[in-house]
């Protein structure tokens, strides 16, 4: 299994930058790989990406030394297993609301003794063609990056317990879903949401995990880096749309 450079940077105290892509296109990932991202998240929750697509997208990311990470639909072992078997080096798990659900995610992502993920000669394990399963299991447990989403009021109340789970690398704020959970959907700048986000910042700061966030702009990314976020992401559309509009307004 390849070295997870994104995880290594986080553990060294560095800040890493990634892009969310919801379209099932290995070619798109190949193009993005030239831009210098630390990681790319294949969004199978809000996109149409299936395990077969994910496997080719992982290959494309690997060509450029970009860490391939996938966001699954649900925190369930069969779903997580199929996407992780493609060779993805990290996992975003949405809607995790308790210590039990956090531990369940760990069990699905990690092999024994840390978890109970099914073991087979799949692409993640080099099809069983390079080294022993015992070696692969150890490498996978060491290199796999686990990102837990905090995007509900319930999760915030449980977060002090959740951050005690050592196998979680990043606790990730989902501003949009958080605003919905707090009764002000689509208003991430609302005082209720901002106060909740600060509470997450403070709780994660006292743990061994990194703080993650989705940002809409360069300015927001800089602001969140100053607030202590180490794992900063943006969606492809937030980059593409302003660039296209600026070009068209200028040329017309």
Residue 90's Cβ-side half-sphere holds a number of Cα atoms within 13 Å equal to 28
Non-local (6+) Cβ contacts of 83 within 8 A are: 44, 51, 54, 70, 72, 91
The C-alpha angle with vertex 103 and arms to 97 and 109, in degrees rounded to 5, equals: 110
Rounded to whole angstroms, how far apart are CA atoms 179 and 245?
Answer: 27
Q: How many CB atoms lie under 10 A from the CB of residue 48? A: 10
Are residues 83 and 114 in contact, defined by beta-carbon separation less than 8 angstroms?
no
Q: Residue 95: which region, alpha, beta or left (left: phi > 0; alpha: psi -120 to 50)?
A: left
For residue 91, what are the β-bridge partners?
70, 146
Give catalytic residue positions.
46
The C-alpha angle with vertex 12 and arms to 11 and 15, in degrees rounded to 5, equals: 90
Rounded to whole angstroms, how far apart are CA atoms 202 and 211?
Answer: 10
């Amino acid at each position: 299994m390849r070295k997870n450079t994104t995880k290594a940077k986080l553990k060294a105290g560095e800040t890493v930058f990634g892009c969310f892509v919801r379209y099932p296109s290995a070619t798109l990932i190949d193009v993005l790989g030239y831009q210098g991202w630390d990681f790319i998240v294949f969004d199978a929750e809000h996109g149409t990406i299936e395990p077969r697509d994910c496997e080719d997208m992982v290959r494309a990311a690997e060509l450029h030394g970009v860490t391939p990470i996938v966001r699954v639909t649900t925190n369930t072992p069969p779903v997580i297993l199929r996407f992780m078997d493609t060779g993805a080096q990290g996992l975003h798990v949405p809607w995790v609301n308790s210590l039990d659900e956090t531990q369940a995610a760990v069990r699905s992502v990690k092999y024994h003794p840390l978890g109970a993920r099914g073991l087979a000669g799949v692409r993640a394990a080099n099809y069983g063609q390079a080294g022993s399963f015992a070696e692969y299991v150890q490498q996978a447990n060491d290199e796999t990056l686990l990102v837990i989403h905090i995007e509900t009021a319930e999760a915030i109340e449980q977060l002090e317990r959740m951050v005690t789970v050592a196998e979680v690398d990043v606790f990730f704020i989902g501003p949009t879903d958080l605003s919905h959970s707090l009764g002000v959907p689509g208003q991430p700048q609302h005082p209720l949401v901002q106060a909740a986000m600060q509470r997450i910042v403070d709780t994660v700061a006292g743990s061994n995990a990194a703080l993650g966030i989705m940002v809409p702009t360069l300015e927001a990314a800089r602001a969140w880096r100053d607030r202590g976020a180490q794992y900063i992401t943006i969606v492809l559309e937030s980059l593409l749309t302003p660039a296209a509009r600026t070009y068209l307004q200028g040329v017309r």
